[in-house]
Structure 1
Amino acid sequence: MDDNLKIYNAVKKVPDEAKSAINGGRLKGKTEINPLWRIKVLTEQFGPCGIGWYYEVTKQWLEPSGTEVAAFVNILLYIKVGDEWSKPIHGVGGAMFVKQQKDGTAYVEDECYKMATTDAISVACKQLGIGADVYWDADKTKYTDPTQQPDGKTEADKKRLAPVEAELKRIGYSAVSICKTYKVSNVYELSDLQIKDFLQKAKNMPTKEAP
């Protein structure tokens, strides 16, 4: 068992200098990890990029939603332990390409794919336990009750989430799973784009059989 946790235990702790507080948006109050710290950890554990670890971009695509557009990237991460290469470790990341601003203008982010790739690497790294202490602490409260309606939400919000809740019930998935997938603390924090993305994916999922 100790051997199984060797890498996990070596990479789970994040130094204070690699952490910063998120002060705005839906993740306000959570902790952000410097992406270069993950690269350093991968290099320390497995060797230089391209020799001891590497990743492949398998898909890049854009998803429009109203006046906004998000960019997504799928990657496969590979690590070398001893003389053996791992099976692919999957990661999917996203970032905004076109974002509607408060003044009504559209902001275009020309580095959206780079940002989405960084996000995808973080998702893959999480499966190795990299930065696990940050995520473990967050899980104690972040997903406690992901279906509870937050203060200030309206009937319109409940109606907007109704198709999501119906699909979760149909396929037998929990609200916790969708919150973790889209990195939100509550289903009511899902954006219209994320809701659309989930509903599209759910169409291809089988209905859970009744017990």
Structure 2
Amino acid sequence: MSNMAIWDANSSIPQEYTKRAKLNGQEITTYSLQAAILMATRQFGPIGKGWGYEVVEEKNDDGDVIIQAETIIGKDGQKIDQREIRSVLHTLIIRCWYVLDGERYEMPVQAGHTPKVMRTKYGPKFDEEYYKKSLADAIKKSLSMLGFGAEIYLGLLDDQHYLAMKAEEDAIKFESEKAGRIEALKDKVSGYCEAYKYNTLPQSIKAQFTGHMGEVNRECRALNINPDPYIKKMESAANARREELTAKR
């Protein structure tokens, strides 16, 4: 394996997995934790087996004061002690690992950060998803050391010239692969039709067909082709098998 093999295989994030977000008032391109997990699983295998992470440390750091501690008088004249409320930054430090050619490798620790309690114009705000966000930040930072999402971290997805060039390359690649994918879809549909012949439960055939129909619809959307001919073929085969089983009763 070349030194850049993992990097080159994962530096490009499919556009449908990216999104625009604001960070410290600036527009940036980012991608979800699920996309990172998908790419790592494709590269190394299922999480927990081919790759994973261990939490090294978790901490909460107090920041600036949002509400000062004070004693206020309630409507009934009773004194109420208002405790001090500060902003809180949650930090999760993890160490990622992965298996390559049967050998386990550990990566340097990385930290993910999320404002857990923050100041807003309406007062203090508590983010209930702080742990998930810190974990996502830490995992993506760790995988970025291997080149995952390098296009984003290098700022290439904010370069309009690069985006136009990449879109053209993707279109050429899609067209070159389309014919082969359509042939593979035809074979898959034929296999589904054949599978109905071995199913002995009419209700199970209906569920089986529904699942197959979802898969065909997804693939046809990706290929930008009409799914009706493929679905009609499967529906005909499924109905024929159900009628055959009903007639035997």
What TM bracket, shorter-length normalisation?
Answer: 0.5 to 0.7
Larger Rg: 2
Greater strand fraction, Structure 1 or Structure 2: 2
Aligned to 1:150: none
Q: 1:44 to 1:25 in 2, by over 3 A?
A: closer
Instruction: Quote the offset at 1:134 in angstroms.
Output: 1.3
Aligned to 2:153: 135
Q: Return the alpha-carbon distance in structure 2 between the equivalents of residues 75 and 68 of structure 1.
A: 23
Equivalent residue pairs, number: 138
Instruction: Quote the offset at 1:75 in angstroms.
Output: 0.2
Q: Return the alpha-carbon distance in structure 2 between the equivalents of residues 51 and 25 of structure 1.
A: 34
Aligned to 2:76: none
Aligned to 2:63: 65
Q: 1:31 to 1:139 in 2, by over 3 A?
A: closer
Q: Which runs of 5+ in 2 are unaligned?
A: 65-85, 160-249
- Residue identity matched to 1:137: G
Alignment of 1:12-31 (within 5 A): 12-22=11-21, 24-26=22-24, 28-31=26-29
- Residue identity matched to 2:48: G
Q: Return the alpha-carbon distance in structure 2 between the equivalents of residues 111 and 21 of structure 1.
A: 19
SS at match of 2:98: strand
- Residue identity matched to 2:9: A
More moved, 56-65 vs 27-36 = 27-36
Q: Return the alpha-carbon distance in structure 2 between the equivalents of residues 136 and 25 of structure 1.
A: 16
The alignment-based identity, stated in percent, is 25
The alignment's C-alpha RMSD in Å is 2.0
Q: Return the alpha-carbon distance in structure 1 between the equivalents of residues 97 and 150 of structure 2.
A: 19
- Residue identity matched to 2:108: I
Are 2:99 and 1:80 equivalent residues in the alignment?
yes
Runs of 4+ aligned structure 1 residues displaced above 3 Å come to 138-141
Work out whether residues 60 and 113 of structure 1, in 8 Å CA contact, stay in contact via their aligned partners in 2.
no
- Residue identity matched to 1:76: R
Aligned to 1:123: 141
Are 2:26 and 1:8 equivalent residues in the alignment?
no
Greater helix fraction, Structure 1 or Structure 2: 2
Q: Return the alpha-carbon distance in structure 2 between the equivalents of residues 27 and 138 of structure 1.
A: 20
- Residue identity matched to 2:38: K
Q: Return the alpha-carbon distance in structure 1 between the equivalents of residues 4 and 13 of structure 2.
A: 17
SS at match of 1:86: strand
SS at match of 1:8: helix
Work out whether residues 75 and 90 of structure 1, in 8 Å CA contact, stay in contact via their aligned partners in 2.
yes
Instruction: Quote the offset at 1:88 in angstroms.
Output: 2.9
Instruction: Quote the offset at 1:96 in angstroms.
Output: 0.9
Identify which of structures 1 and 2 has the higher relative contact order when contacts are C-alpha pairs closer than 8 Å and 6+ apart.
1
Q: Return the alpha-carbon distance in structure 2 between the equivalents of residues 40 and 139 of structure 1.
A: 20
Work out whether residues 87 and 117 of structure 2, in 8 Å CA contact, stay in contact via their aligned partners in 1.
yes
- TM (normalized to structure 2)? 0.52
Aligned to 1:33: 31
Q: Return the alpha-carbon distance in structure 2 between the equivalents of residues 100 and 87 of structure 1.
A: 37
